[in-house]
DNA sequence: TTGTAAGCGTTATCAA
DNA sequence: TTGATAACGCTTACAA
């Protein structure tokens, strides 16, 4: 066997192009050409070199290559909340597409924190990614200026800033909140609690707008106490409801008959709290989610929610990014995808 | 403003150490020293250089740095099924820890495919990751030989090969299946369907062993038809059950009274099929899961399952890996974590 | 068709 | 305390 050539147990030198060159008795440029299938290489020599490279278990140093040609076949994914199942489908489909074409992805989480986001962007820049897909903390921030100034290929998801030549793929949170609220009203709900995200987040602003728009549409009064800002997590949804009913008495429940949540995770928190308090969904309380994460159809009762096309966002986002990176398409793409209501069993028809 | 220095809109040259050197009127070594806080640098000069670097929005080229010192502060994570929510808790905690210490992670999925896994390993090697955490396709494969031969710092999760100086953190699937089956038997179930994974997977072998061990323990007959091999997905669990009851008649249901699933995703598939067919869980059929993924407590009925410490696995795995990378600890770590039964409402007590 | 050499952006060694 | 230089592994003019 050729294993004695291959043996790396002794602290031998790295197996690089130069090493292969020495073993094959050619120059490193010839090896490089052979390895890359450069037609300028003699077929016979190339085959011999290739064989030796294989025997030696050669693999290229992509840092060196990246340093030289300023391409790393690496994409950065910067998200805001890796804990949220919302993103899993998107990540999965992006990974599949990238894997197919020998790209890889660096994944990180900004946790809705501008400082962290900045750090992540700089890491991506430093590590030489060819582009990023980012769910930004906010649509107006120095971080976005940074991305632009550095000319980093970027596709925004979730929500996005607006400027010349921007690329984004997301749904309209305003529209989502609007159709959700419209549906609740159509079902006879007139007092709707909005479980919104932190007010400084763009997504919360948008969501609130849609909610207000719908109320206005139906000349319903806006009740301040019915708009709650909270973190976008299960735990927060749970706490928000528990806080409203500290006494475990459904005393003031007639204050509102439905809850609209910015995200299914909040809705699941509402389920949890309701169970503890003893509210029956949807009889005592109707719940409307947003995102349609996979598990919502298995909740009891199955959650009525607004479906966001997470897979499509991933597919389109990465396609746009790759087209741009590989120079196939330098156009700006602004894509707002449709959202749709998924009617299940968590909203009671009062009419 | 200093913005005219910073302007990068014209296709200017890269802002690198050399550039900063020129602007500051010192050599690149001095800049490098300043940037790295090397005490050999004059404090005053260093401060001036740092200020200029900041003004110029300098960020280091980590490819060059990595090429030079063979450290990239990048970790590879190679998993088998990014679609399975099981992994996200682990990923999340790893990401958090890495983010804290300015490491990043390259994430990829091998899909239980040895060829893909090999490709992923080579990518990691080529991209110069400092180490990997891998859920291997199999515990005996050329891929593992490759990892070893290349001396890549590795921690195995999920299951692991056994050799000198190996590192792993996982639970015993055999034990998990054993205590699950024991519990079912204790509840009075004597005929238990095993929804197992593909037979060539190590995890399936282990799981089967635990199941058989428990049956043997209680002198229960092994019924061949009660051991089903299937993909580890919701859809497969669904299909397996549907296939057993094509006529939608619970005719042969008395054939078994409980199903033990290798993974909660299979169990959810069983839920779905049962609902369609009209079986009531646990009255018509008891279901036992494995993993205790987050959503199982929200199923209806809440799923009785075996808890796997996914967060702990991530924490320990990355700690061991980092200790090794940074030379703090070169010992081999073989960690088998405990599993525990989470009793909820999907298993009927027949006794 | 092949080889030589320069350069990608860092850092460490050495000399000044 | 600083600067010149070589090296990390790769690719591509350019020359042979």
- pLDDT tens digits along B307-328: 999 999 999 999 999 999 999 9
B94 near A CB under 8 A:
no
**Kind of pairing, strands A168-171 and A154-157?**
parallel
Tell me, what's the pLDDT at A253? 57
- Tell me the backbone φ, ψ of residue B169, rounded to 5 degrees: -140, 115
Q: How many domains does chain B have?
A: 3
Chain B contact for A20, CB < 8 A?
no
Interchain pair B107, A105: CB under 8 A: yes
Best mutation site among A9, A65, A82, A124 for testing chain B: the one with the most B CBs within 10 Å?
A82
pLDDT on residue B7: 37
In angstroms, the CA A220 to CA A108 distance is 42
| B97-CA/D2-C1' distance, Å | 38
Q: Which residue stretches of B127-256 are H helix?
A: 142-150, 173-186, 202-217, 234-244
Interchain CB distance below 8 Å, A88 and B82: yes
Residue A271 covered by a domain? yes
Chain-chain contact of B64 with A60 (C-beta, under 8 angstroms): no
Which DSSP string corresponds to A286-326? EEE-SB--GGGGGSSSPPBEEE--HHHHHHHHHHHHHHHHT
Q: Does A253 touch chain B (CB under 8 A)?
A: no
Residue B6 domain-assigned (yes or no): no
* Interface residue B106 vs chain A (CB under 8 A): yes
In a domain, B2, yes or no: no
- Which residues lie closer than 8 Å to B350 by C-beta, 6 or more apart? B187, B188, B189, B257
Q: Could A104 and B109 be called an inter-chain contact, meaning their C-beta atoms sit closer than 8 Å? A: no
Give the start-end residues of each E strand in chain A. 74-79, 104-109, 131-134, 154-157, 168-171, 192-196, 227-229, 258-261, 286-288, 305-307, 334-337, 340-342
Q: Residue B20, CB, less than 7 Å from strand D?
A: no
Q: Which residues contact B345 (CB under 8 A, 6 or more apart)?
A: B282, B301, B302, B304
Cα distances (angstroms) measured from residue B15 to each of B50, B54, B153: 13, 11, 34
Encode pLDDT of A45-54 as tens digits.
999 999 999 9
Residues A194 and A207 occupy one common structural domain: yes
Residue contact B62–A88, C-beta within 8 A: no
Average pLDDT, chain A: 94
Q: What are B233's two structure tokens? A: 């997905």
- Reported as type and span, the H/E element at residue A142 is helix A142-149
Contacts A300 to B, Cβ<8 Å = 298-300
Beta-bridged to residue B78, according to DSSP, are B108, B134
CA distance B235 to B112: 16
Question: How big is the A-B interface in CB pairs under 8 Å?
Answer: 135
Instruction: Choose among B310, B299, B305: nearest CA to B342.
Output: B305
Q: Read off φ and ψ for residue A342, nearest 5 degrees.
A: -110, 105
Nearest chain A residue (CA) to B127: A62
Confirm whether any atom of chain D, the nucleic acid strand, is less than 7 Å from CB of B16: no
Q: What are the tokens at B61?
A: 């080229």
Q: Which of B83, B104, B294 has the CB atom closest to A92's CB atom? A: B83
Between CA A165 and CA B70 the distance in angstroms is 38
For chain A, say whether B249 makes contact (Cβ under 8 Å). Answer: no
Residue B260, Ramachandran bin (φ over 0: left; ψ between -120 and 50: alpha; else beta): beta
CB-CB under 8 Å, B104 with A106: yes
Q: Is the CB of A42 under 7 A from strand D?
A: no
CATH number for B181: 3.40.50.2300
Q: Is B345 on the interface with A (CB under 8 A)?
A: no
Residue A69: closest C-alpha in chain B: B63
Residues A72 and A87 in one domain: yes
**pLDDT of A130:** 98
Chain B hits for A281, Cβ within 8 Å: none
Structural domain contains residue A2: no
Instruction: Tell me which of A122 and B200 has the higher pLDDT.
Output: A122
Closest CA to the C1' of D2: that residue is B30
Chain D positions with any atom < 7 A from a protein CB: 1-5, 7-13
Q: Per the domain annotation, does B347 fall within a domain?
A: no
* SS3 track for A25-67: CCCHHHHHHHHHCCCCCCHHHHHHHHHHHHHCCCCCCHHHHHH
Q: How many CB atoms lie within 10 A of CB B342?
A: 15
- The whole-number Å distance from B16's CA to C11's C1' is 14
Nearest CA in chain A to B91: A82
DSSP-assigned beta bridge partners for residue B133: B77, B155
Can you give the pLDDT at residue B11?
42
A343 located within any domain: no
Same-domain pairing of B185 and B304: yes
User: How far off is chain B from A291, nearest CA to CA, in Å?
Assistant: 16
Give the mean model confidence (pLDDT) for residues B270-284.
95
Mean pLDDT (whole number) for A262-288: 96
Looking only at the bridges linking them, the beta strands covering A340-342 and A305-307 are antiparallel
Upper half-sphere CA count for residue A329 (Cβ side, 13 Å): 10
Angle between helices A28-36 and A17-24 (to 10 degrees): 110
Residues B177 and B298 in one domain: yes
Which residues constitute the domain of residue A40?
Answer: 12-55
Kindly state the DSSP code that residue B291 receives in the 8-state scheme: B
Q: Are residues B86 and B42 in the same domain?
A: no
CA angle A16, A72, A81 (to 5 degrees): 130
User: Which H helix or E strand runs over B97?
Assistant: helix B86-100
CA B56 to chain CA centroid, Å, is 40
- Flag whether pLDDT at A7 surpasses 60: no
- Asked if pLDDT for residue A81 goes beyond 60, the answer is yes
Report DSSP state, residue A341. E
Q: How many CB atoms lie within 10 A of CB B74?
A: 23
Residue B248 has pLDDT above 70, yes or no: no
Q: Is residue A62 in some structural domain?
A: no
Query: CA distances (Å), A130 to each of A142, A331, B60, in order?
Result: 21, 17, 16
* A98 and A109 Cβ atoms separated by less than 8 Å: no
Domain-located, residue B341: no
Q: What is the mean pLDDT of residues B193-200?
A: 96
What pLDDT shows up at residue A248?
Answer: 56
Contacts of B145 in chain A (CB under 8 A): none
Q: How large is the average pLDDT for residues B23-29? A: 97
Contact A268 B96 (CB under 8 A): no
Q: Checking DSSP bridges between strand A258-261 and strand A286-288, what pairing results, if any?
A: parallel
The rounded distance, in Å, linking the Cα atoms of B78 and B82 is 9
Across the interface, of A59, A88, A298, the residue whose CB is closest to B88 is A88
Domain match, B77 and B31 both? no
Residues A196 and A258 in one domain: yes
Q: Say whether B246 sits in a helix, a strand or coil.
A: coil
**What contacts A185, CB < 8 A, 6 or more positions away?**
A192, A214, A215, A218, A220
CA of A102 to C1' of C11 (A): 31
Check pLDDT > 90 for residue B251: no
Q: B59 to each of B4, B51, B65, B105, B215, how far by Cα in Å?
A: 18, 13, 12, 19, 62
What are A47's two structure tokens?
């085959």
What does the pLDDT look like over B57-67, one tens digit per residue?
999 999 999 99
Write the CATH number for B20.
Answer: 1.10.260.40
- Residues B183, B303, single domain; the answer is yes
On whether both B215 and B155 belong to a single domain, the answer is: no
Give yes or no for a contact between B240 and B269, defined as CB atoms under 8 angstroms apart. Answer: yes
pLDDT for res B230: 97
Q: Do residues A196 and A281 both lie within one domain?
A: yes
The pLDDT of residue B165 is 95
Does the distance separating the beta carbons of B95 and A109 come in below 8 Å?
Answer: yes
Which residue from A67, A95, A295 is facing B298, i.e. has the nearest CB? A295
| Residues 287-316 of chain B sitting with CB below 7 angstroms of strand D | none
Question: Are residue B273 and residue B147 in the same domain, yes or no?
Answer: no
Q: Given this model, what pLDDT does residue B157 score?
A: 97
Does one domain contain both B186 and B289?
yes
> pLDDT for B221-236, tens place per residue?
999 999 999 999 999 9
Nearest residue of B to residue A275, measured between CA atoms: B298
Nucleotide nearest to A68 (CA to C1'): C8
């Amino acid at each position: 066997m050729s294993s004695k050539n291959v043996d790396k147990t002794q602290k031998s030198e790295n197996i690089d192009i130069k090493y292969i060159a020495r073993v094959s008795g050619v120059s490193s440029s010839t090896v490089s050409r052979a390895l890359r299938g450069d037609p300028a290489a003699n077929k016979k020599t190339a085959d011999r070199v290739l064989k030796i490279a294989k025997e030696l278990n050669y693999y290229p140093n992509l840092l060196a290559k990246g340093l030289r040609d300023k391409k790393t076949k690496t994409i950065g994914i910067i998200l805001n909340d890796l804990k949220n199942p919302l993103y899993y489908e998107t990540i999965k489909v992006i990974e599949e597409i990238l894997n197919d074409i020998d790209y890889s992805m660096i994944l990180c989480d900004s946790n809705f924190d501008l400082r962290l986001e900045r750090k992540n962007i700089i890491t991506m820049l430093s590590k030489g990614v060819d582009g990023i897909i980012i769910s930004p903390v906010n649509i107006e921030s120095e971080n976005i200026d940074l991305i632009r100034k550095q000319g980093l290929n970027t596709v925004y998801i979730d929500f996005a800033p607006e400027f010349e030549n921007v690329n984004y793929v997301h749904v309209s949170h305003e529209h989502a909140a609007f159709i959700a609220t419209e549906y609740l009203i159509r079902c006879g709900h007139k007092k709707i609690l909005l479980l919104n995200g932190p007010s400084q987040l763009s997504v919360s602003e948008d969501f609130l707008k849609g909610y207000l728009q719908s109320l206005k549409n139906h000349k319903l009064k806006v009740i301040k106490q019915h708009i709650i800002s909270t973190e976008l997590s299960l735990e927060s949804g749970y706490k928000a409801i528990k806080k409203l009913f500290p006494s475990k008495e459904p005393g003031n429940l007639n204050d509102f008959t439905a809850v609209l949540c910015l995200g299914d995770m909040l809705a699941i928190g509402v389920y949890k709290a309701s169970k503890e308090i003893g509210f029956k969904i949807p009889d005592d309380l109707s719940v409307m989610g947003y995102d349609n994460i996979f598990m919502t159809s298995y909740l009891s009762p199955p959650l009525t929610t607004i479906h966001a096309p997470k897979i499509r966002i991933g597919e389109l986002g990465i396609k746009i990014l790759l087209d741009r990176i590989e120079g196939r398409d330098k156009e700006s793409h602004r894509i707002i995808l449709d959202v749709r209501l998924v009617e299940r069993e968590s909203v009671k028809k009062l009419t």
